């Protein structure tokens, strides 16, 4: 008999999104579309460098509770996707076949995934967690709807290709690079030659302008994390009317303010290490097992 109090998790992978985003992250921005035209023999090594560890994603999702369904959406006839079918099937992932629309070359994974997720929440009322693997801003509405329906929403996306607004719409957002077991990424190789400039249509130019307006240049992540820490401490200290706050309470507040925050993605093994790197901003009390932190008073 199923324990009514146990967490039950549904995982939805926009597989094209993750594979292409990881490829561009490892091999250079927009390199997937350029290399795809060369054929599989010419880009096999670059594909191998950017292989996505599906097991690491599924294992992380399972840390939230029992996986009751896991679906991956892609055109599985495409060679780069077909190479993952074996390990996906071994992890009991349902492969949803999508075909690209002739006019735009898109397979509509975001629409199909969103429809399935909402249907599953009504069909399976005991679902407690929804994990969306894909950093597309098209999933913002889905994340918001899942939260309104009482589910805890976890987003997973590739750093540099994930919408910050999607991260804000989730209860928790983790970059693929920060998942346990994912090796530190090597910098992309320098291209030998410049690609020929492409002629852009007015629609493409408009889309580029809109994308730039939607996703402004990212601030330095270390500076942003320090600002987030400072705001979280001020909120906590004023709300609780105390001099010191528990480390765990501060981290929880930071995650509520920015679900994409992760000390590991910033290069720290623990939250305590993250705090120790900012002793110009905070004071620590580690004299007992209860670790406390407060803002450092300005001289």
DSSP string, 51-69: ---HHHHHHHHHTTSEEEE
Query: Where is the domain boundary, 165, 197, 214?
Result: 214
- Residue-wise pLDDT for 152-204, tens only, equals 999 999 988 889 999 999 999 999 988 877 876 655 555 444 444 444 444 44
In this predicted structure, what is the pLDDT of residue 37?
Answer: 74
* Structural domain contains residue 3: no
* 259 and 135 inside one domain: no
Kindly state whether residue 244 falls inside one of the protein's structural domains: yes
Q: Answer yes or no: do 245 and 161 share one domain.
A: no
Give the span between the Cα atoms of 219 and 153, in whole angstroms.
Answer: 25
Looking at the fold, whether 157 and 25 belong to one and the same domain comes out as yes
Under 8 Å between Cβ of 19 and 83: no
Indicate the residue among 214, 231, 264 that finishes a domain: 214
Please give the average pLDDT of every successive group of 10 residues along the chain, which has 299 residues. 73 94 90 77 81 90 91 92 91 90 62 94 95 93 96 93 91 89 62 48 43 55 90 83 89 86 89 93 87 84
Read off the pLDDT of residues 258-274 as tens digits, 9 standing for 90 and up. Answer: 888 889 888 899 999 99
pLDDT of residue 214: 45
Tokens 């999933």 sit at which residue? Answer: 139
138 shares its domain with 238: no
User: Could you tell me if residue 145 is inside a domain?
Assistant: yes
* Residue 46: inside a domain: yes
Residue ranges of alpha helices (H) inside the chain are 15-27, 31-36, 40-49, 54-62, 79-82, 85-90, 109-123, 140-148, 164-169, 202-214, 221-240, 247-257, 271-276
C-alpha distances out from residue 201 to 106, 141, 204, 208, 211, Å: 18, 29, 5, 11, 15
For 269-290, letters b (16+ CB in 10 Å) and e give: eebbebbebbeeebebeeeeee
- Specify the pLDDT at position 42: 67
Give the model's pLDDT for residue 184: 66
Residue 270 in tokens? 């623990």
Q: How many CB atoms lie within 10 A of CB 43?
A: 20
The count of domains in the chain is: 2
Query: Does the residue 188 lie in any domain?
Result: no
Q: Is the pTM of this model over 0.75?
A: no
Do residues 124 and 238 both lie within one domain?
no
Number of other residues whose CB lies within 10 A of the CB of residue 105: 7
Does 23 share its domain with 129?
A: yes
Question: What 3-state class would DSSP assign to 268?
Answer: coil
Which of 169, 131, 115 has the alpha carbon at shortest distance from 147? 169
pLDDT of residue 299: 61
156 assigned to some structural domain: yes
Range of the domain at 62: 8-183+205-214
Task: Please report the pLDDT score of residue 152 as a whole number.
Answer: 96
CB neighbours of residue 188 within 10 Å: 16
As given in the structure block, the two tokens for residue 189 are: 């190789």
Whether residues 39 and 71 fall in one domain: yes
Q: What distance in Å separates the CA atoms of residue 22 and residue 18, rounded to the nearest whole number?
A: 6
Which domain CATH number covers 264?
3.30.420.610
Phi, psi for 97 (deg, rounded to 5)? -80, 125
Distance CA 97, CA 109 (A): 9
* 219: number of Cβ within 10 Å: 10
Asked whether residue 189 is domain-assigned, the answer is no
């Amino acid at each position: 008999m199923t324990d009514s109090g146990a967490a039950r998790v549904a995982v939805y992978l926009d597989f094209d999104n993750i594979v292409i985003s990881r490829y561009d992250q490892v091999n250079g921005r927009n390199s997937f579309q350029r290399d795809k035209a060369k054929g599989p023999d010419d880009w096999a090594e670059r594909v191998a460098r950017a292989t996505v560890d599906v097991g690491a994603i599924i294992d992380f999702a399972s840390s939230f509770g029992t996986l009751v369904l896991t679906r991956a959406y892609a055109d599985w006839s495409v060679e780069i996707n077909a190479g993952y079918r074996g390990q996906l099937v071994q992890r009991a992932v349902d492969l949803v076949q999508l075909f690209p629309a002739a006019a735009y070359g898109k397979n509509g994974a975001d629409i199909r995934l969103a429809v399935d997720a909402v249907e599953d929440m009504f069909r399976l009322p005991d679902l407690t967690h929804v994990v969306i693997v894909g950093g597309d801003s098209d999933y913002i509405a889905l994340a918001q709807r899942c939260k309104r329906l009482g589910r805890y929403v976890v987003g997973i996306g590739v750093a540099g290709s994930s919408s910050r607004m999607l991260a804000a719409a989730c209860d928790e957002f983790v970059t693929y690079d920060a998942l346990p077991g994912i090796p530190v990424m090597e910098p992309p190789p320098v291209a030998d030659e410049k690609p020929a400039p492409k002629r852009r249509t007015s629609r493409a130019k408009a889309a580029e302008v809109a994308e730039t307006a939607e996703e402004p240049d990212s601030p330095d992540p270390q500076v942003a994390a320090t600002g987030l820490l400072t705001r979280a401490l001020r909120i906590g200290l004023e709300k609780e009317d105390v001099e010191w706050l528990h480390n765990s309470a501060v981290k929880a507040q930071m995650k509520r303010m920015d679900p994409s925050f992760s000390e590991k993605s910033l290069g720290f093994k623990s939250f305590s290490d993250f705090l120790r790197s900012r002793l110009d901003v905070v004071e620590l009390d580690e004299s007992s097992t209860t670790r406390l932190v407060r803002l450092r008073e300005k001289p």
